[in-house]
A and B are shown apart, each in its own frame.
Chain A
Amino acid sequence: MSGGAIAITERAASRRRRGLIENAQAYLFLLPAIAFLALFKILPAFYAVYISLFRWDIVQGAFRGLDNYFDILWQNATRSQQFWQSLSTTVTYALITVPIEIALALVVAYVLFQKLRGRDIYRTIYYLPYVTSTVAAATVFSWVFHPQYGLVNTVLGAIGISGLTWYQEPDGVFQMMGNAFGLAVPDWAAGPSLALVGVAIFSIWHFLGFQILIFLGGLGNIPVEYYEAAKLDGANQWQLFRRITLPLLSPQIFFVFTIASIGVLRAFNEIFILTNGGPLDTTRTVTLLLFRTFFQQGQIGLGSAMGVLLTLMILGFTLIQFRVFERRVTYT
């Protein structure tokens, strides 16, 4: 009896020892990742908050509590006006980009999913923009949309639309259409500036391939039997799409929606190259405003406060997206 007890304790002890070693090993494996994440991701989040509490104008100045936030949100007339305008620009940018992106990608993925000659070639071409650097691609875009020498205005000129200045045009697109037909469009209905529409076209171009990819994956998951059963019940093509494809694709649509929204919130390189926030601030999204405040005006404290606000917004979207994403992954 006592011998058995000893054996059990020994076994328990050796298991504990092994457990300790395993624990130590695991932490050793994790150490580099944890160290780098802590230094460049976790701690900086706290530093960002710390910096945002100071007047930090090229050099660190006096502690000002939440005044930087208050300045951005309402206290300082110019700053708050700029911030809210940039937020509204960002939302407008998202509103004209995301739905078109999704619709276009859906259509293309749908067509591309079928057995078709040259499918791989199409696919290769469609993904190409997504791998191209935004700096190079945007440089090319500003050339393609050049008011005088660009291809776009030449094509538009052929159908009677001429003189568009694209990335320099602060006028709203609805206003421009109204003017073309001799209608006076009120300011509130002027719509996004043509420059912002140009930036949106770039975004759609750049991210289309990625979204097609996600939708193709989703389409592959829909069992063929569903369609066959529905056809037996006399469903027409449109009904098949409405009643089967669309609902079963909804996780992907939602995923793409959140990803694209985050992408818009974070967009920097392409806007920096194409318009640098101009003309008349009509393309100055929150990221661009943050960059200007921080890097061009040397207002680190204010910039940091903007960064914290922007992060909270992105986190909101990411949380939603992550929920959906995790669920999708656990299923597969």
Chain B
Amino acid sequence: MNTPRVLPRVIARPMRPRVPPIVSTAFKHVVLIVVGLFVAYPFYFMISTSLKEFFEATVTPPTLFPTSLHFENYAEAWSRQPWGRYFANTTFIASMTVFGEIVIAILAAYAFAQMNFRGKNVLFALFLATYMMPGEATLIPNFVMMSKAPPGVNPFFPIPRLNLYDTYAAQILPFLASAFSVFLLRQQFLAIPRELRDAAVIDGAGHLRFLWSVVLPISVPALVTVAILSFYGSWNSFQWPFIVTSSDAVRPVQVGLNAFRAEAGSLYHLLMAAAAFVVAPIVLLYLIGQRFLVQGVARTGIRG
């Protein structure tokens, strides 16, 4: 009720000093719907194309609604590549990344928030520094690190060669330590009242027990936010897995979709069906965990 009814002149015609409320509301809806159409129509076009027959998909001008529905396109697209394997790979990689990232971040965030130790500020500054380091800086060296040392090259120095090219590990390990998650959780852990810790100390509880039985239970929303953001980042990542995988056994779903672009060629109806089932799980997750995701993004925004 108290929300200010302020409409910028960019939208309202400048010659009208006061817009009658009813027009203004309708006008707002018009703005929102136009933007909504802009945002939503690619999704609609994807779904509608995916249900068309080949000859209808490649007709000029395109039909808005399929004249007959061809759900078998999904089965056809699915059968053309080992999608089941890709989805399993992505699920495994994303779950491992989320799990590892959370555990590591909880421990580090707790140390920064609740413990006193020498060099805390210096270390925290170091974490800050890695937070600012963009992925582009480490793309090539990390690739070289994942490689096998060529004959005659020292596998430890100057660059350690982990020989992890085309493995799950190569897609998980580099993302386990995320300064971002540490910050987010530290922020949360800092807000825990001092009295709780004091009471736990009187009870004789050590850090681990305090962390496990007090801190974590009251931090669930923050943990879920970190988990969802991490999962989302892992599920959607493309460039690194594209570079570092070469077999179907470990290839994730985004890389599979890129490969399918070449396979599908002009079969756009199949390509759109594939895009639809690649997008579906993450959209579902979004609809379920919207609150957490939105919170996480609002707090930070660096992801993605």
Contacts and interface: CB of A to CB of B under 8 A. Distances in A.
Q: Verify whether A and B have any Cβ pair under 8 Å.
A: yes
A193 interface: no
Contacts of B159: 47, 50-51
A197 interface: no
A124 interface: yes
Interface string B120-163: 10010011111111111111111111000010010000111000
A136 B133 contact: no
Contacts of B2: 224
A96 interface: no
Contacts of A210: 297, 301, 304
Chain A contact residues: helix, strand, loop or mixed: helix
Given A107-B11, A268-B239, A329-B187, A126 B142 contact: no
Contacts of B304: 130, 210
A143 B105 contact: no
A269 interface: yes
Interface in B1-52: 1-12, 14, 17-19, 25, 28-29, 31-32, 35-36, 38-43, 45-46, 49
Contacts of B179: 37, 41
A125 B279 CA distance: 14
Contact of A44 (B141, B173, B236): B141
A44 B142 contact: yes
B45 A140 contact: yes
B236 A240 contact: no
B278 A136 contact: yes
Contacts of B42: 129, 137, 140-141, 144, 205
Contact of B137 (A29, A48, A273): A48
B141 to A, nearest CB: 4
Interface residues of A, number: 108
B136 A241 contact: no
Contact of B39 (A112, A114, A125): A125
Chain B contact residues: helix, strand, loop or mixed: helix
B82 interface: no
Contact of B60 (A27, A34, A149): A149
A77 B206 CA distance: 64
A314 B297 contact: no
B290 interface: yes
B227 interface: no
A307 B136 contact: yes
A43 B141 CA distance: 9
B141 A151 contact: no
B258 interface: yes
Contacts of B207: 25, 29
Interface stretch (A5-13, A86-94, A170-178, A287-295): A287-295
Nearest to B139: A307
B45 A151 contact: yes
5 contacts: A33-B177, A41-B130, A44-B142, A126-B39, A139-B257
Interface of A: 19, 22-23, 25-27, 29-30, 32-37, 39-45, 47-48, 50-51, 59-60, 103-104, 107-108, 110-116, 118, 122, 124-137, 139-141, 143-144, 146, 148-151, 154, 157, 205, 208-210, 213-214, 216-217, 224, 227, 236-238, 240-241, 245, 255, 259, 262, 266, 268-269, 272-273, 287, 290-291, 294-295, 300, 303-304, 307-308, 310-311, 314-315, 318-319, 322, 329
Interface of B: 1-12, 14, 17-19, 25, 28-29, 31-32, 35-36, 38-43, 45-46, 49, 57-62, 103-105, 107-108, 110-112, 115-118, 120, 123, 126-145, 150, 153, 158-160, 173-174, 176-177, 179, 182, 187, 207, 232, 235-236, 238-239, 243, 254, 257-258, 261, 268, 271-272, 275, 278-279, 282-283, 285-287, 290, 293-294, 297-298, 301-302, 304
Given A137-B42, A210-B304, 10 more contacts: A41-B133, A48-B140, A127-B293, A133-B238, A135-B238, A137-B279, A139-B261, A241-B6, A245-B8, A319-B132
